[in-house]
A and B are shown apart, each in its own frame.
Chain A
Amino acid sequence: MTRRSSFAAGARDTLPMVIGAAPFGVIFGTLVAAGPLAAWQGQLMSLSVYAGSSQFIALGLVAGHAGLAVIWLTTLIVNLRHALYAATLLPHVAHLPARWRWTLGFFLTDETFAVMAGYYARHPRAPLGHWYFLGSCLSMYANWQFWTLVGLLFGAAFPQLQSLGLDFAMVATFIAIVVPQLASLPNFAAAVAAGAVAYLGQDVPYKLGLMAAVVAGVAVGMALQRWRSGGLEAGRREEEAA
């Protein structure tokens, strides 16, 4: 593994996410072109904020004449899940120089988190993992900028883009990452609980249904893990007594 091949592998493994996110980039650009923001401001938002769902929500809030504080607070709440991603990935990046940590943090998204969670599950101690991380980040970022621009310039030429279902590429990749981890009972139960709460809470605003799902899933997983290790300890005590 060289830096270059690690970087290329990260970019390659993110390809399904790139396909899945493309239509949303176009849709975002199209909505900007039809709304109160200037085109360059739409691109600036993709370049600097770089967080799809909060960008869409902000457009809605601007159209509804919401105040700055409301928009910023909403951005904070909608993007809170990224702190969870950062906490989860931190052990793999804490040793890197500060410029690396700033860079990888800036580029963190749902999609790159998924790719990196899968990668670190397979390669927990890869010395060039950060190059793979960067490859994933940059392909996702370039893709978002490109399709935002396409939407800004030619959005009206792509009606019904959402009905193509290209975002299924993301679903397929997430399944390929999650399923191998379901072999352990606590993980399986955590996923079932999270899925159920996410389904029930899908209409809760600010993506808080997603946060609730994670909290519920983690709680169920932890409870099962404790119960099992408690059971093992009890078993050991019984053996010793016998």
Chain B
Amino acid sequence: MTNTVMILGMAAVTVFVKAALFVLGDRVVFPPLLKQALGFVPVTVLTAIIVPMILSPNGEGLELTWTNPQLVGALAAVLACVVTGKQLLTIAVALGVFFTWQLGVLA
């Protein structure tokens, strides 16, 4: 019972955090400075999520070596993206290099 209450409370908190601004909709007006700041959110948050996954995939310090498949795959992705500018191709190249590295080169 307590655990069910805990879960439903977690759900209420999470839905509030996620949906409150959407639900307010047009009633929310951001000042220009905040609008400008929000423009930087995608590029910063997405980078912040993946950089630790690339640089220390095992959570055990910096792995700046060729034996780190995440790092090799990420470099391939950046290169493919800069050269081709195509999203799907970038993902395909990155996954190809990553799994080749992980299952072929390092296995």
A222 and B7 CA atoms in complex are apart in Å by 39
Q: How far is the CB of B79 from chain A (nearest CB, A)?
A: 10
Complex interface residues of chain B between 46 and 101 (CB less than 8 A to chain A): 46-57, 59, 69-70, 73-74, 77-78, 81-82, 85, 87-88, 90-91, 94-95, 98-99
Q: Chain A 88-115, CB within 8 Å of chain B: the 1/0 string?
A: 1110011110100110111010100110
A5 at the interface (CB under 8 A from B): no
CA distance A218 to B35 in the complex (A): 11
Main secondary structure of the interface of B (DSSP, over half): helix
Chain B residues 1-46 with CB under 8 Å of chain A are 2-11, 13-15, 17-23, 25-26, 28, 30, 36-38, 40-46
Chain A residues, CB < 8 A from B9: 68, 71-72, 75
In the complex, how many angstroms separate the beta carbon of B74 from the nearest chain A beta carbon? 6
Interchain CB contact under 8 A, B22 and A178: no
- Given the complex, which residues of B lie within 8 Å of A176, measured CB to CB? 77, 81, 87-88, 90-91, 94
Nearest Cβ on chain A to B96's Cβ, whole angstroms? 10
Give the Cβ gap from B92 to chain A, nearest Cβ, in Å. Answer: 9
Distance in Å: Cβ of B46 to nearest Cβ of chain A:
5
A91 to B102, CA, bound (A): 41
In the complex, are the beta carbons of A102 and B74 less than 8 A apart?
no
Q: Is the CB of A98 within 8 A of B23?
A: yes
Q: Which residue of A lies closest to B25 (CB)?
A: A94
In whole Å, how far is B67's beta carbon from the nearest beta carbon of chain A? 13
| Minimum C-beta distance from A87 to chain B (A) | 6
Question: How far, in whole Å, are A175 and B43 apart by their CA atoms in the complex?
Answer: 10
Shortest CB distance B54–A (Å)? 6
Whether the pair A86, B40 counts as a contact (CB closer than 8 A) is no
> Number of B residues contacting the other chain (C-beta, 8 Å)?
64
Q: Is the CB of A81 within 8 A of B23?
A: no
- Judge whether B3 and A79 touch: CB under 8 Å: no
Of chain B, the residue at the smallest CB distance from A96 is: B25
Are A88 and B26 in contact, CB atoms less than 8 angstroms apart? no
B82 surroundings in chain A (CB, below 8 A) = 179
Q: Is the CB of A85 within 8 A of B15?
A: no
Indicate if the CB atoms of B20 and A86 lie closer than 8 Å: yes
A76-B13 contact in complex given A88-B42, A93-B25, A165-B98, C-beta closer than 8 Å? yes
CB-nearest residue of chain B to A108:
B18
A interface list, Cβ under 8 A from B: 16, 36-38, 41, 44-45, 48-51, 54, 58, 62, 68, 71-72, 75-76, 79-90, 93-96, 98, 101-102, 104-106, 108, 110, 113-114, 117-118, 121, 165, 167-182, 186-187, 190-191, 193-199, 202, 210, 213-214, 217-218, 221-222, 225
A-B contact pairs, 15 of them (CB 8 A): A41-B3, A51-B14, A54-B14, A79-B17, A86-B22, A88-B42, A168-B95, A172-B90, A172-B91, A176-B94, A187-B43, A198-B49, A214-B44, A217-B40, A218-B44
